[in-house]
Structure 1
Amino acid sequence: MAKKSDSSKKSSPTGFAHNPVRVLVAWTPNSTGSAALDCAAWFSRTTNVEVRCVTTFLRPWPSRTGNKLGTKYKKWFKKEAAACEEAVKRDLIRADIAQEHLSSTVSVFRDGTNEAALLSDVAADFRADIVILGSDAAAPKGRFLAGSTADALLHSSPNPLALTPRKPSLSKRGVTRVNFAYTGDDTDNQALVRAAVLAAAWNVPLRVLALSPSGFGIPPIPDSVELPRDIALEWRENTLAVLDRARDTVHKEQPEVNVETHIGSGAGWQGAIDAVKWKKGDLLCFGSTPLGAFERVFIGSQATEILPYVSVPVLMIPATSKSSK
């Protein structure tokens, strides 16, 4: 089972609050895909982790009605939880996650009427550092499509969310590069610092990206009037200035991290993403739009549009609360 955290250390060598990193996987046994567990295994090859799975049962009746059903439902629930635990253990073995990375409580079975609320409650009980969500089954291979539960958590989760494409192609060496993307959303700059902390802890480089969906300077209609050259140059200079400030911020906070910058620009968000070369070891980080007093994930409109075109796992970092700044 996973090792206990060493509370005597002032900072965690894992890049998160805990060592081992507490990874909660939203998982349904006998699922058609194994992407979420594959992502957990990928993290286990990156740093020290403690993996726990949560399976939810959505019942159509409120809790009071469930109590009236009495012992029959309680017996069924207990039997189902035990069967679920056995199935989870088998699936974790298939995903090649070592026994030492499994939580002492490896499977949690919860019932309720709202799946997003159930996952948040279990994450709070576990004090999870990451919650891993798989893609909707309708997504193309290698792409992420948010279902209703993922969409709800992308606008409310206090925990970082790891979003896994369907049937991802992942490096056997774990995360080999952390990426942080600027998209034009009003995101919390502390997310860049948190991405740099991960790169430092995992001893991998950090790539800072500026993504533009417009293929800047290319007219949408052939043979139309071109955009004035000085405007295009000003856009590029402003973008380079943003990347320079990002590099300075990282060097100030994590001077040992190797930082590279890149501009991805193309026709639409797919063109912007495709303009950037991706590796099997890439993790893409997005910041959240600040919401005030609470530290929450809140995905911006630009990041929402980008997600369907990303072929690597994505880490959504909660915005820092104003009270903690």
Structure 2
Amino acid sequence: MIGAHVIVGYANDPGGRDALALSAAITRVTGGELTVATIYPPNSPGLAVEAQANLAHAAEELGPVPAEFITFESRGTGRGLAVLASRIRADLIVVGSADGGQHGRISIGSTADHLLHMSPEAVMLAPAGYLPPEEPARLTLAYVHRPQCDAAVEQVAQAALRLGVRLRLITLDLRTDDQGRLRDDLALAVRLAWESTGIEAEAEVAEGHDVAAALAGVEWLDGELLVCAASEDAQPHRVFLGELAMKVLRASPRPVAVLPRGFG
């Protein structure tokens, strides 16, 4: 289960504070380590000092929450977080929504875009203005019948079992596929979750003319987390999201975790 060591990319802005709150909530539940990192560009002594000041703000925000604070030099924030995560053996990178996005939704900036196409570790994004509850409520997996999603069913079911929360599998019906086949595929995924963990997953087909409309008709609990599997085009042990999954991520009103190919 991800969350044994979480690294959060922090900047002293709304997205950075959202990500910090989410990462602290995750480690509170998992009992994992928390590393707060600010990335700054090479040959920029002024920005290096600013990075240290950012971490001082982060420490104030966290209060008594235990954490390690690191500044790291890199030509890009996403690249720096990915490299640093590998060095410290973090298993989850958390970032916030880019400035200017819709409240309650995820806006993908350059940092998130890099991580969603290159990260060696799972990536989680917080919607703008997200306030994490005290306890998790349910894990939802966006399911499509393909090997990466089938593997994710088992991994997410195991995480739900350990956390003691409900599991839901959602398939999108954008009125371009045979709904009977979609429901049959979903039933097989529910059976896979049961056979691997003994969890009886909820199953839902979300219908709409596009991804945003389909997800708008879905009930979302406080404390819910949406999980997406990497695309089949992803390199081994890398995150890579295709066009449809990107639309799901942008339409989600809850944090989204993206698993790398071969996770677990």
Fold shared, TM-score > 0.5 on shorter chain: yes
Deviation per CA, 1:201-257: give whole Å up to 9, x if none.
10111100111234x6xxxxxxxxxxxxxxx8xx222111111110111111111x2
Q: How does 1:277-292 map to 2 (within 5 A)?
A: 277-291=219-233
Aligned residue for 1:32?
A: 14
1:285–1:292 CA distance, 2 compared to 1 (3 A):
closer
Instruction: Name the amino acid aligned to 1:195.
Output: V
**Residue 234 of structure 2 contacts residue 240 of structure 2 at CA under 8 Å; is this kept in 1?**
no
Instruction: Name the amino acid aligned to 1:318.
Output: P
Equivalent in 170, 174, 191 of residue 209 of structure 1:
170
Deviation at 1:259, TM superposition (A): 1.0
Alpha-carbon distance in 1 for matches of 2:206, 2:58: 40
> Does 2:4 match 1:21?
yes
**Residue 185 of structure 1 contacts residue 289 of structure 1 at CA under 8 Å; is this kept in 2?**
no
Aligned residue for 1:88?
A: 58
Q: How does 1:51-66 map to 2 (within 5 A)?
A: 51-59=34-42, 66=43
**Residue 135 of structure 1 contacts residue 164 of structure 1 at CA under 8 Å; is this kept in 2?**
yes
Aligned residue for 1:181?
A: 142
Is the partner of 2:14 in helix, strand or coil? coil
Aligned residue for 1:46?
A: 29
1:78–1:267 CA distance, 2 compared to 1 (3 A):
closer
1:292–1:91 CA distance, 2 compared to 1 (3 A):
closer
Is the partner of 1:117 in helix, strand or coil? helix
Alpha-carbon distance in 1 for matches of 2:97, 2:234: 29
Deviation at 1:77, TM superposition (A): 7.5
Aligned residue for 2:179?
A: 236
Deviation per CA, 1:271-309: give whole Å up to 9, x if none.
110121111111000011134762111102111122221
Aligned residue for 2:237?
A: 295
**Residue 295 of structure 1 contacts residue 319 of structure 1 at CA under 8 Å; is this kept in 2?**
yes
Deviation at 1:84, TM superposition (A): 3.9
Identity %: 25
**Residue 291 of structure 1 contacts residue 319 of structure 1 at CA under 8 Å; is this kept in 2?**
no
* TM-score normalised by length of structure 1: 0.74
Q: How does 1:1-325 map to 2 (within 5 A)?
A: 15-16=1-2, 21-28=4-11, 30-33=12-15, 34-59=17-42, 66=43, 73=45, 80=50, 82-93=52-63, 98-99=64-65, 102-103=66-67, 106-173=68-135, 175-183=136-144, 187-214=148-175, 235-255=178-198, 257-291=199-233, 294-320=236-262
Deviation at 1:138, TM superposition (A): 1.3
Instruction: Name the amino acid aligned to 1:31.
Output: D
**Residue 122 of structure 2 contacts residue 260 of structure 2 at CA under 8 Å; is this kept in 1?**
yes
Larger Rg: 1
Deviation at 1:115, TM superposition (A): 2.0
Deviation at 1:113, TM superposition (A): 1.5
Is the partner of 2:188 in helix, strand or coil? helix
Alpha-carbon distance in 1 for matches of 2:202, 2:245: 21
Deviation at 1:185, TM superposition (A): 7.6
* TM-score normalised by length of structure 2: 0.90
Aligned length: 263
Alpha-carbon distance in 2 for matches of 1:266, 1:292: 27
Provide runs of 4+ in structure 1 moved above 6 Å.
none
Query: Tell me, which stretches of 5 or more residues in structure 2 are unaligned?
Result: none
**Residue 188 of structure 1 contacts residue 290 of structure 1 at CA under 8 Å; is this kept in 2?**
no
Deviation per CA, 1:143-197: give whole Å up to 9, x if none.
0011012111101111000111000143222x21000012578744212211111
CA RMSD of aligned residues (A): 2.4
Query: Tell me, which stretches of 5 or more residues in structure 1 are unaligned?
Result: 1-14, 60-65, 217-231
Deviation at 1:107, TM superposition (A): 1.0
